[in-house]
Chain A
C-alpha cells in the first residue's frame, strides 16, 4: 500500500512525537554514510525516527510493515562498516533515547540494558558494584546491545569468549514482541539463555538488523579483577610467534594474548606518526608483537607469570618486557577499557577485513593477504594483520583481521582496497575460515553461493517467515 510521504510522516509523528521524527535532508544526511563509504555508498533514509520505549518501537514497526517501508535499526550511532546505511531508503530507527540500564544484578551476575546505553555508561555503573561487562576494543560510546548481538571480540579479556547474551526482548517486523530464553517465562528474571526448546536468542544474533529490533538485552557480567598486568614479547619469526601464542592459549594462563603486526600497536596506542622510529624504540625493530594480559589476584598473577616464564624460556622471543606500546607517550590511559581509541584514525580511515579462523593458519592468512595486497598495487608497508585467539579455544579459534589506515579521499587507493576485499573474500573461503566476524554486506553477499548444504536457504526461509515483507534493513544480506 503506497501512502503519500507526508501522511507517513504524520503517522510516525503520532507514534513517537513530532520532535523525534524528521524528513529534513539536513537531518537525514547524517545517517547516510559512515567511514566505510568507499565500500557501502552513501544513501539517505527517508525518515529518521527516535523512539523512547518498546511501545513506540512497536508502533513504528506496525506503520513500516503496513506500508512496506524499510526499517534500519541503529543503536548508539557508531557505525564503521556500513551496516546501518539505508541502502533502500526508509526509516532509520535511531535508538539512542532508549538508554536505560534497567538492572545490574550482582547476585545473578547479569545486567539488562536498552540499545541506547553506551559501553562507557555500562562500565561505570557496573564498576560501582565490583562488576564489569565484556568490553570490546571499540569506541567506548558503542552500544553493548549491538555489539553483543553481533558478537564481538573482547581483546583484553578474550578468555571470556565471544558470546555474552542471555536473553532479549525483540520487536518483530510486524510489531509483535518476542522474549527469548527465560525472559519468556513469567515470574522469573531474564537470566538464562535457555528457556525452552531451541535457542531463539542465538537465532536472532549475528544479524545486521534484519529480523527485528532488540529493545532489551540481558547479558553476563564478570567480576572486576583485583590486579591487571601486561607483558610484551617481540618476534621476527612469525612461525615461532604463532607457536608461542598457541601454547599460551592452550595453557589458559592469560586474560588475553594478541599477536599483532608491529604497526598495529604503534598506530593505535603510540602518540607519533613516525612509526619506524617507534618500531625501533619500542619494539626493538621486531616484526611481530605479542601482548600478554594477566588478570587475577596479585598472588595468582605471580604464579601465572612464573608459568609463562617457562614458555618464554622455551621460545626465546627477540624482545621481552617493556617499554610497552601502551606505556609510550602521554596516552597511558588508552589501554584502559573502554578505550577512547586514541590514534585509531591518526592515519586516516580504517579499513578491515575480519574473520574467524584457526590461529595455526595465521601464517597462511598473512601470506595470502600480503600477496593480494601487492597484486592490487597497495603499499605493503601499510598491510597489517592481527590475531586475537579467543575462548573457547576449541579449533584454535582466533579472530583475524587484515587492516590498514588510509586516506579515503584517495580514490585510487580506495578502489584498490575494494578490489582487494573482493578477491580476499573469495580467496579466504578457498583457503578456509570459520566464518566472517560480522555480517558485512561485501563479505556475506560474496559467500552466499559458496556455503555447503542448506545453510543459506534455511537462513533465508527463517528470515522470510519472520520478515515476510522484507522491511528490515533490506539489501544487507540478500539482494533486493
Chain B
C-alpha cells in the first residue's frame, strides 16, 4: 500500500506506548484537580479517540489489521485536533515521547498515509485543498479579495513583512486591521504581501494532503525574498509554525528571513519603548493559548506580557493554561469536517472561563478566535472573544 513506508517508521513507537493513559489528563499536580485534556477522547469516549488508542489504530494500519476505510476509521484519524496536549505529557518522560519527536507528527503521518492510500482525506478537506490550489486560500474566496480588509495601499518592497494569513484576510479581518494599526503606531515601515501571499499550507499539512505543500512554500519564500523580507510577522499561530518550523524542512534550507509571531514582535516593541500604550482598557480577561503557538512552538509568555502591559486590564488564568491548555477545537482540519465537535470543544473552553468568572476570552490566533466566536454565538453571545492585538490596538488609542 502506498504511504506505508512512511508510516512504518512509527511501528516501534506504537509498540512502546505503554497505555498508561497519563496523556489523557492535564497535569493534576499543577492544577490541583483532575481535568481532561484530550478533546476527541473526551467527546467520543472510545479508546481509539485517545492517543493511546490511536497508537493502536496506527499499528493496525501498519500491520494490515484494519482492512477497510470505515467511516469510524476516518473519524478517529481526522477528528483529532492535533493539539499536542497528549505529547506534552509524554515527550519528556518516555522512550516513545522522547525518541519519536512527538505524537503529533505520528498522527499527521497517519493522515498522509490515508491520503496516499486513497482512503482519505475527508470531503471537506478535499474541498479546501482544491480552493487552495485555485484561490490560494482554503475559504473558497477569490484570491483578488485577499487584500479587501484594507483600503490602504502598501509598500511592495521592504524588510518588515506582515504575512496576514488566510483567516485574518477573509474571516477575522479585525485582527489584521488591529495589527496594522499597531505597526503604524510604531511608525514602522512594513509590507503587506497582498496578492503575492498564498496560503501557508498549514491546513494541508494537518490533513495529510502534502502534494501541494512544496509549491506553496516555494512560492511564499520566493515572494518574500523578492520583497526583500528580513523579518516576517504572522498573526496566525498556524502560519507561524508552518513558516518558521516546517518550511525549512520542506525546502531543505533555512529561508533568509526571520519569522516572528505578532505576540513576540509587539512584546519586543513594548520592551524597547517603540510602542506606547496610553488608553485604559477596563476589562478582566483570560488568555487562551493557541496550540500552534504554545505547545507546538513554546510561545507562552509574550501574549501574557502584552496583556499585562495594557493599562487597567486584568488577566486571570484558567485552570488549564500554557502546556495544559484545553484546545479551542478548530485545528487539524476539524473545524471544516466536524463543526459540531469543534464548537462543542470551544464551548467547553468558554465554560472554563465562565467558571473563573470571566466573560472576555482572548487568544492570539485568528483561527482560535473564529471558533471561540462561533461557540460564543451558540451561548447567545454571553462571551466576548478577542485577539490580543485587538486589545493592544484599543490601548494605543
Using a CB–CB distance below 8 Å, which chain A residues touch chain B? 20, 22, 24-27, 29-35, 37, 44, 48, 50, 76-80, 94, 96-97, 118, 120-121, 124, 139-141, 271, 331, 333, 336, 338, 340-350, 407-409
Q: Are B33 and A22 in contact (CB under 8 A)?
A: no
Measured in the bound complex, the distance between the Cα atoms of B28 and A124 in whole Å is 9
Contact A78 to B21, CB < 8 A, known contacts A97-B45, A340-B27: yes
Residues in A with CB closer than 8 Å to B67 are 25
B21 CB contact (under 8 Å) in A31, A50, A77, A124 = A77
Q: Are B24 and A141 in contact (CB under 8 A)?
A: yes
Contact A24 to B34, CB < 8 A, known contacts A29-B59, A48-B46, A139-B22: no
A350 CB contact (under 8 Å) in B18, B30, B46, B96 = B18
Chain B 12-32, CB-CB to A under 8 Å as 1, else 0, gives 100111111110110111101
Chain A residue with the shortest CB-CB distance to B58: A29
Residues in A with CB closer than 8 Å to B95 are 345-348, 407
Q: Which of B32, B33, B96 has the most CB of A within 10 A?
A: B33
Residues in A with CB closer than 8 Å to B33 are 124
Residues in B with CB closer than 8 Å to A94 are 46-47
Chain A residue with the shortest CB-CB distance to B18: A35
Q: Are A29 and B65 in contact (CB under 8 A)?
A: yes
Measured in the bound complex, the distance between the Cα atoms of B11 and A78 in whole Å is 21
Residues in A with CB closer than 8 Å to B21 are 76-78, 139, 141
Confirm or deny: B48 has a beta carbon within 8 angstroms of a beta carbon on chain A: yes
| B35 → chain A closest CB, angstroms | 9
A to B CB contacts below 8 Å, 26 in the list: A22-B46, A25-B68, A26-B60, A30-B53, A32-B56, A33-B59, A37-B15, A44-B65, A50-B46, A78-B19, A80-B19, A120-B25, A124-B32, A141-B21, A333-B29, A340-B89, A344-B18, A345-B93, A345-B95, A346-B94, A347-B95, A349-B15, A407-B16, A409-B12, A409-B15, A409-B16
Interface pairs A-B: 9 shortest CB-CB: A30-B53, A26-B73, A30-B47, A345-B94, A24-B72, A333-B29, A35-B18, A30-B48, A121-B34
Q: Are B72 and A27 in contact (CB under 8 A)?
A: yes
Residues in B with CB closer than 8 Å to A97 are 45
Q: Are B18 and A349 in contact (CB under 8 A)?
A: yes
Residues in B with CB closer than 8 Å to A349 are 15-16, 18
Confirm or deny: B134 has a beta carbon within 8 angstroms of a beta carbon on chain A: no
Contact A120 to B28, CB < 8 A, known contacts A24-B72, A26-B48, A345-B94: yes
**B interface residues, how many (CB within 8 angstroms):** 45
Confirm or deny: B57 has a beta carbon within 8 angstroms of a beta carbon on chain A: yes
Confirm or deny: B216 has a beta carbon within 8 angstroms of a beta carbon on chain A: no
Chain B 83-107, CB-CB to A under 8 Å as 1, else 0, gives 0000001001111101000000000
Q: Are B22 and A27 in contact (CB under 8 A)?
A: no
Measured in the bound complex, the distance between the Cα atoms of B53 and A26 in whole Å is 9
Confirm or deny: B153 has a beta carbon within 8 angstroms of a beta carbon on chain A: no
Measured in the bound complex, the distance between the Cα atoms of B72 and A29 in whole Å is 12
Confirm or deny: B66 has a beta carbon within 8 angstroms of a beta carbon on chain A: yes
Confirm or deny: B76 has a beta carbon within 8 angstroms of a beta carbon on chain A: yes
| B28 → chain A closest CB, angstroms | 5
Contact A29 to B60, CB < 8 A, known contacts A22-B72, A345-B93, A348-B16: yes
Q: Are B19 and A77 in contact (CB under 8 A)?
A: yes
Residues in B with CB closer than 8 Å to A37 are 15
Measured in the bound complex, the distance between the Cα atoms of B19 and A466 in whole Å is 32
B34 CB contact (under 8 Å) in A120, A336, A348 = A120
Residues in B with CB closer than 8 Å to A48 are 46-47
Q: Are B25 and A118 in contact (CB under 8 A)?
A: yes
Contact A342 to B93, CB < 8 A, known contacts A31-B47, A140-B22, A409-B12: yes
| B214 → chain A closest CB, angstroms | 31
Q: Are B70 and A140 in contact (CB under 8 A)?
A: no
Residues in A with CB closer than 8 Å to B59 are 29, 33
| B111 → chain A closest CB, angstroms | 14
B66 CB contact (under 8 Å) in A20, A26, A141 = A26
Chain B residue with the shortest CB-CB distance to A48: B46
Chain B residue with the shortest CB-CB distance to A50: B45
Residues in B with CB closer than 8 Å to A44 are 65
Measured in the bound complex, the distance between the Cα atoms of B23 and A77 in whole Å is 13
Q: Which of B33, B47, B60, B70 has the most CB of A within 10 A?
A: B47
Residues in A with CB closer than 8 Å to B92 are 271, 342
Q: Which of A22, A139, A407, A408 has the most CB of B within 10 A?
A: A139
Residues in B with CB closer than 8 Å to A76 are 21
| A151 → chain B closest CB, angstroms | 21
Contact A340 to B72, CB < 8 A, known contacts A35-B17, A141-B24, A346-B94: no
Q: Are B32 and A345 in contact (CB under 8 A)?
A: no
Q: Are A345 and B16 in contact (CB under 8 A)?
A: yes
Q: Are A336 and B16 in contact (CB under 8 A)?
A: no
Give me 14 other A-B pairs in contact (C-beta within 8 A), A341-B22, A409-B16 excluded.
Answer: A22-B46, A26-B57, A27-B76, A29-B60, A48-B47, A77-B52, A94-B46, A97-B45, A120-B25, A140-B28, A141-B21, A340-B28, A408-B15, A408-B16
| A209 → chain B closest CB, angstroms | 17
Chain A residue with the shortest CB-CB distance to B93: A342
| B71 → chain A closest CB, angstroms | 8
Measured in the bound complex, the distance between the Cα atoms of B18 and A239 in whole Å is 34
| A364 → chain B closest CB, angstroms | 30
Measured in the bound complex, the distance between the Cα atoms of B31 and A140 in whole Å is 14
Contact A24 to B73, CB < 8 A, known contacts A30-B53, A80-B19, A120-B34: yes
Measured in the bound complex, the distance between the Cα atoms of B89 and A341 in whole Å is 10
Residues in A with CB closer than 8 Å to B66 are 25-26, 29
Q: Which of B17, B29, B66, B92 has the most CB of A within 10 A?
A: B29
Residues in A with CB closer than 8 Å to B28 are 120, 124, 140, 338, 340
Residues in A with CB closer than 8 Å to B45 are 20, 50, 96-97
Residues in B with CB closer than 8 Å to A345 are 16, 18, 20, 93-96
Measured in the bound complex, the distance between the Cα atoms of B293 and A407 in whole Å is 34
Measured in the bound complex, the distance between the Cα atoms of B24 and A96 in whole Å is 13
Residues in B with CB closer than 8 Å to A31 are 47
Chain A residue with the shortest CB-CB distance to B71: A24
Measured in the bound complex, the distance between the Cα atoms of B20 and A338 in whole Å is 13
Q: Which of A24, A344, A345 has the most CB of B within 10 A?
A: A345
Chain A residue with the shortest CB-CB distance to B73: A26
Measured in the bound complex, the distance between the Cα atoms of B67 and A120 in whole Å is 37
Residues in A with CB closer than 8 Å to B20 are 78, 80, 139, 141, 341, 344-345
Measured in the bound complex, the distance between the Cα atoms of B58 and A33 in whole Å is 13
Chain B residue with the shortest CB-CB distance to A38: B15
Residues in A with CB closer than 8 Å to B17 are 35
Measured in the bound complex, the distance between the Cα atoms of B47 and A342 in whole Å is 22
Residues in B with CB closer than 8 Å to A342 are 92-93
| A14 → chain B closest CB, angstroms | 19
Residues in B with CB closer than 8 Å to A350 are 18
Measured in the bound complex, the distance between the Cα atoms of B22 and A340 in whole Å is 7
Q: Are A26 and B47 in contact (CB under 8 A)?
A: no
Measured in the bound complex, the distance between the Cα atoms of B32 and A124 in whole Å is 7
Residues in B with CB closer than 8 Å to A139 are 20-22
Measured in the bound complex, the distance between the Cα atoms of B50 and A94 in whole Å is 14
B56 CB contact (under 8 Å) in A30, A78, A336, A347 = A30
Contact A33 to B34, CB < 8 A, known contacts A25-B65, A25-B67, A26-B48: no
